Amino acid sequence: MTKKVAINIVMGFLGVGKTTAILHLLKQKPADEKWAVLVNEFGEVGIDGAILSAESGMTVSEVPGGCLCCVSGIPFQAALSSLIAQQQPDRILIEPTGLGHPKNLIRTLTSESYRSYAELKASICLLDARQLKNPKYQQHETFNDQCLLADVLVANKVDLSSDIDEKNFYQFAKKMLPKKSQLGWVENGQIDLAWLDIESDQSRQSITAHKLHSHSSSHSHDHAHQHSDANTDTSSEQLMKPVKLEEGQTHCAFENEGMGYFSIGWLFAQDQIFDHQTLSQWLMTLNVERVKGLLITNEGTRVMNLRDQVFSEMPTRALSQSRIEIIHSDILNKQTLEQGLLACLSH
């Protein structure tokens, strides 16, 4: 019998460090195993997939623009089936958008369609323990359900956390039933490789089932994504098609909305060079929930992140284009933001 492909979901809310955690896992990959990564993002321009590809050197599969709870039908299944057929991996790591509910994704992966050749292993949820003091997170259904559905619950960024945050995390985790298979208290996404082989506890799905049923009408409304390049063609090829610049374009913007959040992402041609200092300073003036980008600057290529007004960056490999995305819970002013970005280009 052919060995089944092991699948792990690495989930968590916006900005908790999922991409960093996956990069850490990829560095621990056994030499005799072949792994693949499938990424879905809320926005259209595919930042996380590009970061994973640039930092790991791997080809990363993407289901762009939306959340996997919506697209766990044809687009997701087409992407997953294609990935398995073409790469024949031993393990697949799936990174869903931080705004997506994982219930339907887990249901799809444990369905009869995949049971014969794929096996869902531990689902891992990362959180920032500091979030547990914020009512915005405590009362957010998706945040709580991501934590409930996880077999492994991991507090990340603990180097920024206090003793009170640590106490809150373990109290929060202790209340969850079934009991977590593993708890983690880590920094920089340093997930233990052994956690991937923990068995998935399917009974966790029943915990959130009644909530999903009772909210089914509002759920469909909240997930009605609006795309800047809306098209009536809903074939898997159309939904999976990545955004790109047309010939001669220096830049282009792509918008999305859903789950009470809004995003605008931009692609910039390779010859559009950002002034590093001007861009960094401008980003730190933004009062938004999340900014992430892969950018070509006059000081080299950079991965840039902004979350809760905390800015960070690191160098990365050469890029064929720049991409940046802004996510916020209020409507974003595209014209103002684009003017700000363009003003950061070197002249």
Give the pLDDT confidence score for residue 241 in this predicted structure: 58
Q: Are residues 16 and 129 located together in one domain of the fold?
A: yes
Q: Is residue 235 part of a domain?
A: no
Q: Is residue 22 part of a domain?
A: yes
pLDDT per residue, tens digit, the chain (347 aa), is 478 999 999 999 888 999 999 999 999 999 999 999 998 877 778 788 888 888 888 878 887 665 554 545 677 788 888 899 999 999 999 998 877 778 888 888 888 888 888 999 999 999 999 999 988 888 888 888 899 999 999 999 999 999 999 999 999 999 999 999 999 999 999 999 999 999 999 888 766 544 444 443 333 334 444 444 433 333 334 444 567 898 999 999 999 887 778 999 999 999 999 999 999 999 999 999 899 999 999 999 999 999 877 888 999 999 999 999 999 989 999 999 999 999 999 97
SS3 296: strand
Q: Is residue 347 part of a domain?
A: no
Q: Are residues 103 and 218 located together in one domain of the fold?
A: yes
Q: Are residues 143 and 17 located together in one domain of the fold?
A: yes
Q: Are residues 183 and 121 located together in one domain of the fold?
A: yes
Give the pLDDT confidence score for residue 219 in this predicted structure: 39
Q: Are residues 323 and 204 located together in one domain of the fold?
A: no
Q: Are residues 140 and 39 located together in one domain of the fold?
A: yes
Give the pLDDT confidence score for residue 207 in this predicted structure: 60
> Token pair 């003793």 is at which residue?
163
Q: What are phi and psi of 129, to 5 degrees?
A: -60, -25
Q: Is residue 302 part of a domain?
A: yes
Give the pLDDT confidence score for residue 223 in this predicted structure: 41
How many separate domains does the chain show? Answer: 2
Q: Is residue 47 part of a domain?
A: yes
Beta carbons of 52 and 37 less than 8 angstroms apart: yes
> What's 268's domain CATH number?
3.30.1220.10
Structure-token pair, residue 41: 């993002």
Q: Which domain holds residue 109?
A: 5-222
What is the tens place of the pLDDT at every residue in 248-275?
Answer: 999 999 998 877 789 999 999 999 999 9
Give the pLDDT confidence score for residue 344 in this predicted structure: 98
Q: Is residue 293 part of a domain?
A: yes
Q: Are residues 63 and 195 located together in one domain of the fold?
A: yes
Q: Are residues 260 and 209 located together in one domain of the fold?
A: no
Q: Are residues 301 and 215 located together in one domain of the fold?
A: no
pTM above 0.85, yes or no: no
Residue 80 to residue 47: CA distance in whole angstroms:
19
Q: Are residues 58 and 187 located together in one domain of the fold?
A: yes
- Reference 33, options 2, 62, 5, 61; nearest CA is 5
Q: Are residues 168 and 311 located together in one domain of the fold?
A: no
Q: Are residues 180 and 295 located together in one domain of the fold?
A: no
Residue 327 to residue 265: CA distance in whole angstroms:
9
Neighbours of 135 (CB within 10 A): 7
